[in-house]
Amino acid sequence: MISCAQQERPRVTSKNELYLFLDTLEKRYETACTNFQIARWEMLMGRESYNLDSAQSELATIFLDTATQHIIEEWRARSNSLADKLLARRLELWHRAFIGGSINFDPEIVSLQNSIQQRFERYKFTLGGNKFYGSELINKLQREKKQNKRQVLWSTHSQIPDDIKRDFIRLIKLRNERAHLFGFPNYYSLILNIQSIDEGGLFKTLNSLEELTRNDFDKLVLTIKKKLRIKDFGPWDIEFVQKEVKVLPDKYFPADSIFHILHRFENRIGFHTDSLPINEAVINNTHSDNCICITIPNDIRILLSPQKGIYFYSIAFYQYGRALHAAHTTVDYPILKGYDRVAGTFNPSFEEGVALMHSEFVNDSLWLGAFTKAKEKEIHNYLSRRGSPALLRLRRTLKDFAVEYEIYKNPNENLDSLDYAMFTKYLSGTIKENGDYFFSFSSSYITSPCSFYKSILREMIAAQLNEALTSKFGYEKISNPKIAAWMIEYLYTPGETIEWWERLRNATGKLLEPGAYLRKLGIEQTTIITTN
């Protein structure tokens, strides 16, 4: 019997053989993605038949195959001589996917990540002799009106066991070690690279946002302190301030009307919802707000948890925006369809920004006037108040990004001091570092590593697309049936055949820049930073 080590590596010696090799590989890839998405759907629907582990192992088998990766790298190096742009693009996406997949499916990393996540989710904090999950403490923090009690609630999170903290740092070092094998200084740099994001350009943009919003944010903090009658603005105040935001009354957004209103609007701007392969379901499940792309573009499913209010409508429109994108992707090759299971096969900032454009319709004065019974004064008051919470959310995300980025640069840094320094810089904190301040550990660092910047870029992308939409269609931005054709042509149809920034430029006439986002926040900018 011939051992695996003795087996001859598969060979691809011609362009025709390469086509056959990639077609076969991508058929396996799409099948694995479909099986994983079906398992997710079954899980969210509460059925016991799902098997995520089995579906995950199908993908892992592909991306841990070094022989296949060797063939991809060999032919990618020769792609310029192939005289076939689409073939070269497939090779490039496979190159990125093998980098991202080999780390994301690394058995040691997966095992440690799952262990940390499970221990963190199951851990109960002690407060006043009672036990609480982390999510329960956050809910209490959002409702507590007294600052001294908010500080106690926030400080309770410092009880995170040392073994979880140590394993978190070990996980980061493991990811960095794997990144070094591909020639990157750390895992964060690797993620940005395989998502086609220039690291220097990203920093230039984020620094610009920080500088251009600093004065307005300092004024906002003074207003918050005056309103809440507090001397210092601390990390324990953020959740409460954000939760306190006033919105339009829930009566204008009934849960049982969501799909009727959504379809009526999307049909109005040119999408033929009755003929689309989008299936919708509503189920009482707190984790059910999802768009599951079973097979792109033929089987797309939306699952929502029934609620009421403008926030629920925003979520529903966002998920439907994702579904429209997948349903109108006309690409033959699975690696270029934008399946979101493997890092490197798509750019999440762009995908979410395009979906967020639909969500923003719900917060547009024209849409609110046409599709709800809200009075004009109510709409005006609501929209005039949106800038402050959005500005606070931006500064908080800038702080979280800076903390995580620095941790990956230097995992041995004192996390408490790092978090304090970034809180002071980005959130105008005036509290003293007296030993009570600590690193705000959250599940995002485990389940969604290196993604805080994504929340900012997607807002920028959505704002830029909405400005382009308004410029092109004006007051008809909620009624012109040509809008769908514009979205389909520039944003949906190409899939991953071209880079995300090219699609944005084709749709808006320019590369990503912060101007539209700053204007949405109500801040006049004096400098425009263009990034690629």
How confident is the model over 450-461, as pLDDT tens digits?
Answer: 999 999 999 999
The pLDDT score that the predictor gives to residue 286 is: 61
What is the C-alpha to C-alpha distance for residues 89 and 150, in angstroms, rounded to an integer?
Answer: 52
The stretches of 123-234 forming alpha helices (DSSP H) are 134-143, 147-155, 162-181, 187-194, 199-228
> DSSP string of 250-261?
GGGS-GGGHHHH
Q: Mean of the pLDDT values across residues 64-72?
A: 96
- For the chain, percent of residues with pLDDT exceeding 90: 84
Spell out the SS3 assignment of 450-512: CCHHHHHHHHHHHHHHHHHHHHHHHHHCCCCCHHHHHHHHHHHCCCCCCCHHHHHHHHHCCCC
Q: Which two tokens stand for residue 53?
A: 């582990």
Question: Residue 128: is it exposed, middle or buried by C-beta count within 10 angstroms (0-12/13-18/19+)?
Answer: exposed
Residue with token string 């089995």: 54
- With bands split at pLDDT 50, 70 and 90, how would you rate the model's confidence at 207? very high
Asked if 330 and 312 count as a contact pair (C-beta separation under 8 A), the reply is: no
Asked if 421 and 476 count as a contact pair (C-beta separation under 8 A), the reply is: no
The pLDDT score that the predictor gives to residue 436 is: 76
What confidence tens digit (pLDDT) does each residue in 212-254 have? 999 999 999 999 999 999 998 999 999 999 887 788 999 999 9
Whether 54 is in a domain gets the answer no
Asked if 186 and 173 count as a contact pair (C-beta separation under 8 A), the reply is: no
| Average of per-residue pLDDT values in the chain | 92
* Cα 43 to chain centroid, rounded: 21
Spell out the SS3 assignment of 4-55: CCCCCCCCCCCHHHHHHHHHHHHHHHHHHHHHHHHHHHHHHCCCCCCCHHHH
The pLDDT score that the predictor gives to residue 524 is: 67
Q: Mean of the pLDDT values across residues 58-79?
A: 96
The pLDDT score that the predictor gives to residue 51 is: 84
Whether 298 is in a domain gets the answer yes
Q: Mean of the pLDDT values across residues 135-142?
A: 92
The pLDDT score that the predictor gives to residue 527 is: 42
What confidence tens digit (pLDDT) does each residue in 90-124 have? 999 999 999 999 999 999 999 999 999 999 999 99
Q: Mean of the pLDDT values across residues 466-493?
A: 97
Q: Mean of the pLDDT values across residues 66-73?
A: 96
- Highest mean pLDDT of the ranges 47-51, 282-286, 383-387, 460-464: 460-464
The pLDDT score that the predictor gives to residue 5 is: 43
Asked if 368 and 526 count as a contact pair (C-beta separation under 8 A), the reply is: no
Whether residue 529 is predicted with pLDDT greater than 70 in this model: the reply is no
Q: Which two tokens stand for residue 402?
A: 């800076």
Whether 103 is in a domain gets the answer no
Whether residue 82 is predicted with pLDDT greater than 60 in this model: the reply is yes
Q: Which two tokens stand for residue 112?
A: 């440690």
Q: What is the pTM of this model?
A: 0.94
Q: Mean of the pLDDT values across residues 502-512?
A: 97
Question: Minimal CA–CA distance to 296: which of 37, 115, 79?
Answer: 37
Whether 381 is in a domain gets the answer yes
The pLDDT score that the predictor gives to residue 287 is: 67
Q: Which two tokens stand for residue 503?
A: 């699609």
Give the domain extent around 350: 250-385+452-510
What is the C-alpha to C-alpha distance for residues 319 and 359, in angstroms, rounded to an integer?
Answer: 8
What confidence tens digit (pLDDT) does each residue in 14-32 have? 999 999 999 999 999 999 9
What is the C-alpha to C-alpha distance for residues 470 and 478, in angstroms, rounded to an integer?
Answer: 10
Whether residue 262 is predicted with pLDDT greater than 50 in this model: the reply is yes
Whether 369 is in a domain gets the answer yes
Whether 348 is in a domain gets the answer yes
Domain count, the chain: 1
Residue 488: CATH number of its domain: 1.10.1370.40
